[in-house]
Amino acid sequence: MNRLQDKTILVTGAARGIGLAMARSFLREGGRVVLGDINVDLLGESVRTLDAGDRALGIALDITDIAKDGDSLVLSFERSGRGQAVPIVLTLTLDGEMINASQDIGGGRFTVSGSGKKQ
């Protein structure tokens, strides 16, 4: 089945357990998966066991806070790379049938935003 063809899914806590099982399921459904976990050694091994090539990417990810701000869901986390932790804030807001997302990277050094229809 390819219900998730052309979709990319972020799974947190994906080095083992439910997170890893979800990633496997999303891959079986045809999706691409970004697996995030604070335990990068275990995560690397888990990504290798998926044997999904470029459809699975593991990233060091430490979600430090999830909060509700009005009608928005705000996820704050750090992404490790090249020995430095970069703060990231992802804000998701529902607007009728649309999902709006904005991402602040590195304390405002970069901002990414977009929207899509709920499916």
The answer to whether 19 and 35 have CB atoms below 8 angstroms apart is yes
In terms of DSSP bridges, do strands 84-95 and 110-117 run parallel, antiparallel, or are they unpaired? unpaired
Per CATH, domain 8-117 is 3.50.50: yes
**Cα–Cα distance between 4 and 22 in angstroms, integer?**
13
Mean pLDDT, the chain, as a whole number? 81
Structure tokens at 56: 């699975």
In this predicted structure, what is the pLDDT of residue 83?
65
The answer to whether 87 and 76 have CB atoms below 8 angstroms apart is yes
Q: pLDDT digit string (tens) for 75-89?
A: 776 666 666 677 777
**Banded pLDDT at 97 (limits 50, 70, 90):** confident
Mean pLDDT of 43-55: 93
The answer to whether 69 and 94 have CB atoms below 8 angstroms apart is no
User: Could you tell me the residue ranges of all domains in the chain?
Assistant: 8-117
